A and B are shown apart, each in its own frame.
Chain A
Amino acid sequence: MGDASLLVAFINVQIWLPTGNLWCMSEFSVALNDDQQQIKDWTHGFAEDVMRPAAAEWDEREEFPYPVVQEAAKIGLYGWEFLMNAGQDRTGLTLPVAVEELFWGDAGLGMAIMGSGLAAAGIAGNGTPEQTMEWVPQCYGDANDVKLGAFCVSEPDAGSDVSNLRTRAVYDEANGEWVLNGTKAWITNGGIADVHVVVAAVDPELKGRGQASFVIPPNTKGLSQGQKYMKHGIRASHTAEVVLDDVRVPGSCLLGGKEKLDAKLARAREAGKSGAPQPAMKTFEATRPTVGAQALGIARAAYEYSLEYAKERHAFGKPIIMNQAIAFKLANMITEIDASRLLIWRAAWLARNGGFTNAEGSMSKWKASEVAVRVTEEAIQILGGYGYTREYPVERWHRDAKIHTIFEGTSEIQQLVIARAISGLRVE
């Protein structure tokens, strides 16, 4: 399974962390280089040939699409190696480019393929190299035996505000084990994953700085799936509660190790309750351009489809696009889509080249997700009655789009993050 030295490279060049200092800055360009173009074509091919034809069926079935994920694993699209290769692109653009194509194919299936990535990022971002090597491959398995990862932060009472997690992790000195209790909500792959990464409060007093991340290995007693959410959109992606009932894991499952945690807690206690970034937040901020790229893929799908439709469909003796009411909608859609892509690419580049200054990651995610909701709704309108039926894909794209304004920070939270970044003030 995998090549350990590559995985170590992955740790060093994680796309999730602003690692600009490790490398000389790369040029920012909106022209894709050969490698990027190749990955774009390759993911597009998969999206068109495998995902598009399967999309309606898995939306209807509302269950995890193992066969599709297996196909993705066969060609190397589902797997840590893919993320690692993407991570080696110093411009940061490879991942958003690939993700846009996947979500152009289908958002539900796309989430099913991407879902394990959050767990992998949580491990790589917080774990030691040894932990990363041990657990990241287990989030994926291989084409013959697909495995899943789940990243568990949100709770029923802590969605937007993750500094107040109720899930507790208590150290049992006698056995050298951590004991976790609590309920996680809205978890992608929750309960069906092989590896769950759980963020829990070790010292609740310290809020975000008193939290730590734990790996829960496969088949650990006490971890179970709560309710499965029956959603509007991205229905091929499994979302459920995860219940932790006296879950015991060995000390080695604490990501980053005990020494590092103890030092962090000591620092935090000294500094008092500080609002410095917490582990979960760090993962979120750097993955936002990728989430934006997901929304972008959906929006582009809807735009392309409705453009073709508007040229073909005749009413009052002419193609409907010959009405400005329709043509201007489409002009607006593509302009907003392109604006979103530029924000996403800039953010992805910044994530690898010097880091964010004005919450550019949040800007890109906010813009792209809102654009996706509006564009897909306009697409329904352009298709008229056909747009409102399940016989055509645009209604599904609209259902799929909305979630992107909610998860990984709602639109309101993105605005809050941006407002804080530009003002330097803790706007509440």
Chain B
Amino acid sequence: MSDRTASMLDSIRGKARSWLEAQWDPHQPLGEWWSNLAQSGWGFPDFPERWFGLGLPSESRRIVREELQRVGAFGPPHGIATMMVAPLLVEMGTDEQRQQWLPGIVDGSEIWCQLFSEPDAGSDLAGARTTALRDGDVWRVNGQKVWTSGGHYAKWAILVARTDQSAPKHSGLSFFGIDMRQDGIQPKSLVQMNGSAEFNEVFIDDATTLHTNLIGEEGKGWPVALRTLSYERESLDADAEPGIQTDLDLTIAAGRYASGEIPDGSEGFMPGGLEAWELLCSVIAANDKQNDPRIRDRAVKVYTGIKTSSWMSQRFAQAPEVGAEVSLGKLAATQLMRDWRDLALTALGPHGQLLEGENTFDGLPAQIALSVPGLSIAGGTDEIQRNIVGERVLGLPREPRPNGD
């Protein structure tokens, strides 16, 4: 890092700190606090100034996150909307779309979900069969989606649908924003391995969305979807904030979320970055294993993983553009979480099998163990990430595609 960059980052930190110290008030209702953050630009400092940001480099996010933690403030909304939809709109949306959607995203009043995967099209997303047919000013949508996280409380969704049946697979798709709160859209919860029911099957029966909600051009939805997925992968690294925002009550004091008194959607997820390391150390110490050489050896491996992962994501944040390399970050994160889990469960012995009770750390390691397998599947499986790395990072020959598409 050059001296200039370093001093720029220091100055960002200073400004963020003084703003937060002056503005953070734990008694303020969450909705007001989030609006305040959004209006000031400190919620999403890397967004353009015109769109609720400060036009700062993406590393500013990490700095602001550290400063938020320092004053004990609750962070900005965090979910599919902020990780994927907002950057996409900034990059590819129309001004009309940005005006329509960004305010509700940055102040957390409107939750988004992702209607991509289908029962027969997960890894092979381009095989999606849900259709959208033009009918005057609107598109009529029919089909079924699955694994839709947050579909039961989302206000909006991003949708991949087939708009041209006759075109080759990848060219017949279009990308839309669509209102989830309409009769034609019925989410049905699915219970996950960890016992929670965060994702859904979504049945779409003659739902409609305005033509102006088409993001990108008609028939050019595939590159938009790929772009969105790379934002998703970028945000699934080991530094990422845990979990995603659920339908939080915006009238409750922000401080009660910040203190963990009220669940905020991050429960049961591995904390990001060094917090994960600290938790692991507490687990090891509580079980009196800090002097066990085998445990220490594995702990060092986890620590190394956390640090390299974190440096890797900082490097991506500094890169002028996100590319296929983000798949490396996601792969590193899923492996790291497995190592973390295996070590925590070894240290805990039978207590690692319990979701409550003494020496279970409120069941957190057990919950993490039940969530870890999902991370190697969500947002593109490990195998698909490796294919991407092989083809797009290493430049290996492409996998043969049977339909030549």
Contact = CB atoms under 8 A, between A and B. Distances in A.
Interface of A: 159-160, 186, 227, 229-233, 314-318, 323, 325-326, 377, 380-381, 384-385, 387-391, 395, 398-399, 402-403, 406-407, 410-412
B356 A230 contact: yes
Given A315-B124, A380-B193, A387 B377 contact: yes
Contact of B399 (A316, A395, A399): A316
A389 B191 contact: yes
B190 interface: yes
A217 B32 CA distance: 65
B373 A380 contact: yes
Listed residue (A316, A389, A398, A402) with the most chain B CB atoms within 10 angstroms of its CB: A316
B146 interface: yes
B184 interface: no
Contacts of A395: 192-193, 373
Given A381-B377, A387-B373, A395-B373, A232 B123 contact: no
B397 interface: no
B381 interface: yes
Given A232-B370, A326-B383, 4 more contacts: A232-B366, A316-B123, A316-B124, A316-B127
Interface in B347-405: 349-350, 352-357, 366, 369-370, 373-374, 376-378, 381-383, 386, 399, 401-403
A387 B374 CA distance: 9
B99 to A, nearest CB: 35
Contacts of A323: 383
A233 B353 contact: yes
Nearest to B193: A395
Given A227-B357, A232-B370, A389-B192, A402 B122 contact: no
A317 B349 CA distance: 44
Contacts of B357: 227, 229-230
Interface string B191-219: 11101000000000000000000000000
B376 A230 contact: no
Interface in B281-315: 294
Nearest to B402: A317
A227 B381 CA distance: 40
Contacts of A230: 354-357
Interface residues on chain B, size class: 35 or more
B346 interface: yes
A232 B124 contact: no
Interface of B: 117, 120, 122-124, 127, 146-147, 190-193, 195, 294, 345-346, 349-350, 352-357, 366, 369-370, 373-374, 376-378, 381-383, 386, 399, 401-403
A381 B355 contact: no
B377 A388 contact: yes
Nearest to A326: B383
Contact of B373 (A231, A398, A406): A398
A407 B124 contact: no
28 contacts: A159-B349, A229-B354, A230-B354, A232-B355, A315-B122, A315-B124, A316-B402, A317-B124, A317-B402, A317-B403, A325-B383, A377-B373, A380-B193, A380-B373, A381-B381, A385-B146, A385-B377, A385-B378, A388-B373, A391-B191, A395-B192, A395-B373, A402-B352, A403-B350, A406-B350, A407-B350, A412-B294, A412-B346
B330 to A, nearest CB: 14
Given A227-B357, A381-B382, A385-B146, A390 B123 contact: no
Contacts of B127: 315-316
B402 A318 contact: yes
A282 B399 CA distance: 55
A390 to B, nearest CB: 4
Contacts of A231: 353-355
Contacts of A159: 349-350
Given A159-B350, A406-B353, A389 B399 contact: no
Contacts of B354: 229-232
A399 B383 contact: no
A298 to B, nearest CB: 15
A406 B350 CA distance: 6
B336 to A, nearest CB: 16
Given A233-B353, A315-B123, A385-B122, A402 B190 contact: no
A390 B401 contact: no
A381 B369 contact: no
Interface centre among A233, A326, A406 (most CB of B within 10 A): A406
Contacts of B124: 315-317
Nearest to A318: B402
Contacts of B353: 229, 231-233, 402-403, 406
A388 B192 contact: yes
A389 B193 CA distance: 5
A232 B367 CA distance: 9
